[in-house]
Amino acid sequence: MADTTPNHLSALPDTPFPPTEKKLGLYPVVDTLSWIERLLNAGVTTIQLRIKDQPDIEVEDIIQQAIELGKRFNARLFINDYWRLAVKHQAYGVHLGQEDLLTADLRAIHQAGLRLGVSTHDDQELALAVAVRPSYIALGHIFPTQTKDMPSAPQGLVELKRHVATIPDYPTVAIGGISIDRVPEVLACGVDSIAVVSAITKAQDWRQATAELLRLIEHEER
Ligand SMILES: Cc1ncc(COP(=O)(O)OP(=O)(O)O)c(N)n1
Ligand SMILES: Cc1ncsc1CCOP(=O)(O)O
Ligand SMILES: [Mg+2]
């Protein structure tokens, strides 16, 4: 990959972020404590709390409780965006997008021993993510999604496969528009893990959907 180490990420840690599992498995992304509790009880071991655009003071309690819950279940709980609170309450990890990378104190996150996941949408963002040496790299959005407004087009399966092949040493996570039916073709691209929102939270029967996703992603031979 071409060396496109960005000059706006000057305060990078000297060593990589702490490792996480190569295969994180099913990775639900949810916005409430009750979803986290339900899904941990249903056997999910990697999960993200994604609350958008609230002042820190409004979300500190829920983030702290989510981190405690994650620890009680020995799960890998990533906090989206709120890296200061994740550091303060010693989360397992933090998830940051490209814009978040411009403002977050990556050294502080690293110094506190938190894992880091980074979003990417294209080759340039992938190069920037690799420069950060995070714990995992997310690739998306793969298909159209109703959950988040996306300025770019979905990358699709061909790009997903190509991107995954360029970063064989990183745990990879596919996200965006991944329904249960699409899981096999996404896994066939070589990606290690799959993150979903609506496949679980909008399912008619979330328990059944979660069980099926766990079976397809974590239990099926690949
Ligand atoms: C696993 C995973 N992948 C991508 C994202 C998106 O992060 P970001 O681009 O910062 O957008 P927001 O989620 O903050 O709106 C994610 N959260 N998780
Ligand atoms: C948070 C996020 N980042 C990229 S796509 C997405 C939303 C994925 O939600 P869904 O699985 O419902 O398409
Ligand atoms: Mg973000």
Check the annotation: does 146 bind a ligand: yes
Q: What is the DSSP string of 55-71?
A: -HHHHHHHHHHHHHHHH
* Average pLDDT of span 95-110: 95
Mean pLDDT taken over the chain: 95
What is residue 220's predicted lDDT score, i.e. its pLDDT? 77
pLDDT at residue 222 above 80? no
Q: Which atom of ligand 2 is nearest to the CA of 29?
A: 1
pLDDT at residue 32 above 50? yes
Residue nearest to atom 12 of ligand 1 (CA): 97
Question: Has the ipTM of the complex gone over 0.95?
Answer: yes
Spatial separation of the C-alpha atoms in residues 151 and 171, rounded to whole Å: 25
pLDDT at residue 6 above 70? no
* Average pLDDT of span 15-42: 98
Q: What percentage of the chain has pLDDT greater than the value 90?
A: 92
- Could you report the per-residue pLDDT of 130-176, keeping only the tens digit for each? 999 999 999 999 999 999 999 999 999 999 999 999 999 999 999 99
**Higher pLDDT pick, 6 / 209:** 209
**Token match 């979003």: residue?**
119
Whether ligand 2 lies within 6 angstroms of the CB of 183 is answered as no
Whether ligand 1 lies within 6 angstroms of the CB of 13 is answered as no
Spatial separation of the C-alpha atoms in residues 99 and 111, rounded to whole Å: 21
* Average pLDDT of span 75-100: 98
Check the annotation: does 88 bind a ligand: no
Task: Give the count of beta carbons closer than 10 Å to the beta carbon of residue 4.
Answer: 13
Check the annotation: does 100 bind a ligand: yes
